[in-house]
Amino acid sequence: MPRPILATIHTAALRHNLERARRAGGDARVWAVVKANAYGHGIERVFEGFRAADGFALLDLDEAQRVRQLGWRGPILLLEGVFALRDLELCSRLELWHTVHCTEQIDMLAAHKTNVPQRVFLKMNSGMNRLGFAPERYRSAWTRLNALPQVDEISLMTHFSDADGPRGVAQQMARFAAITRDLPGERSLCNSAALLRHAVDPMAAATDPQTLVVSDWVRPGIALYGSAPDYPQHTAAHWDLQPTMTLAAKIIAIQAIQTGGSVGYGSTFVADQPMRIGVVACGYADGYPRSCPTGTPVLVDGVPTRTLGRVSMDMIAVDLSDVPQAGMGSTATLWGRAANGAVLPIDAVAAMAGTVGYELMCALAQRVPVEVSE
Ligand SMILES: *Cc1c(COP(=O)(O)O)cnc(C)c1O
C-alpha cells in the first residue's frame, strides 16, 4: 500500500473561483494564470475547471505546449514573453501571444521570419521595477513595434506591486494612464489583488481613470486557487473563494505522553500534562513547511486542533487532546477541505510558516499522489 497521503484538486471549486473572478471583472475577459504548473495543482488537472476562461496565461513554452495538447484553441499568453529568437517560431506554430518587456525582445521580433504577424502585450514598468519599459520609453517602444510587419495587434499591460496592501494601485495607475491615454489597443492590468480590491464600477468609467484597472483583460492567479491575495486582512471566505487543493494524510501512530514528555526532533514541545498525540504521515518532503511551529492549525477528522513539535521529513505530530474519538487511520487535513465540510485555509497554515498560500501550493512534492475530484 502506498503511504496514506493524498492531495485532492477540487474541480468545482476551480470553476466557482473562476466565476467569482469573472464577476469581479465585469465585462473584462479573464486570463486564467496557470504558470508554475497551475500553482502546483498541475495544468492537466485544472484544465477542466478552467474551461470557461477566455485564455491561459503562463511562462514556460513547455506549459503552453501542454495547454495546446489538451485541445485548447483559444488565446495563450506568455507573461514573460520569449527568451530566445527560436521561441518565436513556436509562438507562430502554436499561435501564442507574448509579452514584450524589453528592447531585446523587439530585436528578436524584427529578426523573426514569418508571414503571420503576432499579437503582443507591451509591458510598462509603472513602478514594480521588475519587467517592462519605463514610462518615458514606452511610447517609442510602441512606435517601433507598430512599424514591424511581424507584429499584429499591440495590447498594453502593466503589473501592480502593492495591490494587496495600503499603497494600493493609484500611483501606478496614474503613470500608466498618463502615458497610454491616446494609444489604441486592449489593456490588461489586474492580478487577483487588484481585481478583488480595486476593481471599480464600469459605469464610473467616463470620468475616473481608476476604471482602467478593470480594463479589457484581467489576470487572476491566486484567487482562482482559493487563496486570499491579501490575507490576513481578508480571508478566502471573505472573498467567497473556495479551496481548490486539499492535502490530507492518515494518522499512522498514537502516543500517550506523560507530563514532561517531549515530541519530535530537538524536543521543542514539552507536555505540561499527560496528552494523547497522533503521528501523521506527512512531512516536509511532501511539501508541508518545516518552518510551521507548534500550534499550526490542522483538522483531525474535520475537528480543529494543532501540530506539536518540529515537522520532520515524513511525519508531523498532532494534538489529540480535544479529539478523543480520533485514532489510528483518522484523517488529518493539513490544508483544504475535510470530509465533514470543515475548511482549513491554506493561508492560515502559510502564515504560521511566515509565507503565503502561493508558496505552499507550488511546493507540493512530486511524491504526493494527486486525485482530481468534482
Ligand atoms: C503571476 C502573475 C499574475 C497573477 O498574480 P496573482 O497574484 O496570483 O493573481 C498576473 N500577472 C502577471 C504578470 C503575473 O506574473
Q: Which domains does the chain have, with CATH numbers?
A: 11-225 (3.20.20.10), 245-373 (2.40.37.10)
Strand-pair category, 217-218 with 29-33: parallel
What average pLDDT does range 318-338 have in this prediction? 97
Distance 301 CA to ligand 1 centre (A): 35
- Note the pLDDT of residue 212: 55
118 phi and psi, to 5 degrees?
A: -110, 145
Active site residue 39: no
CA-CA distance, 244 to 335, in Å (whole number)? 10
Ligand 1 binding pocket includes 196 (Cβ within 6 Å): no
What average pLDDT does range 169-197 have in this prediction? 94
Distance 195 CA to ligand 1 centre (A): 11
Give the CA dihedral 200, 205, 208, 212, nearest 10 degrees. Answer: 70
- Note the pLDDT of residue 203: 46
What average pLDDT does range 244-253 have in this prediction? 98
More confident residue, 39 or 215: 39
- Give the pLDDT band (50/70/90) at residue 200: low
Catalytic residue among 39, 265, 284, 358: 265
- Which burial class, exposed, middle or buried, applies to 329 when counting CB atoms under 10 A from its CB (0-12, 13-18, 19+)? exposed
CA-CA distance, 288 to 53, in Å (whole number)? 30
Q: Structure pTM? A: 0.96
Give the residue whose CA is nearest to atom 4 of ligand 1. 221
Percent with pLDDT over 90 in the chain: 94
User: Does residue 327 carry a pLDDT above 50?
Assistant: yes
Across the chain, mean pLDDT equals: 95
Q: Read out DSSP for 55-88?
A: EEEES-HHHHHHHHHTT--S-EEETT--SSHHHH
300 phi and psi, to 5 degrees?
A: -120, 120
Distance 189 CA to ligand 1 centre (A): 10
Strand-pair category, 316-319 with 245-257: unpaired
Reading the block at residue 198, the C-alpha cell is 480595486
What average pLDDT does range 319-348 have in this prediction? 97
The atom of ligand 1 lying closest to the CA of 163 is 7
Distance 371 CA to ligand 1 centre (A): 26
Name the packing angle between helices 135-146 and 103-111 (round to 10°): 0
Give the residue whose CA is nearest to atom 15 of ligand 1. 79
CA-CA distance, 316 to 310, in Å (whole number)? 7
The preferred substitution site among 30, 37, 219, 239 for testing ligand 1, maximizing ligand atoms within 8 Å of CB, is: 219
Ligand 1 binding pocket includes 189 (Cβ within 6 Å): no
Contact predicate 199/190, CB 8 Å? yes
User: Does residue 30 carry a pLDDT above 80?
Assistant: yes
3-state secondary structure of 342: coil
Ligand 1 binding pocket includes 131 (Cβ within 6 Å): no
Active site residue 35: yes
What average pLDDT does range 232-252 have in this prediction? 98
- Which burial class, exposed, middle or buried, applies to 84 when counting CB atoms under 10 A from its CB (0-12, 13-18, 19+)? exposed
User: Does residue 199 carry a pLDDT above 90?
Assistant: no
Catalytic residue among 35, 225, 231, 284: 35
Ligand 1 binding pocket includes 220 (Cβ within 6 Å): yes
Distance 78 CA to ligand 1 centre (A): 12
The atom of ligand 1 lying closest to the CA of 195 is 9
User: Does residue 287 carry a pLDDT above 70?
Assistant: yes
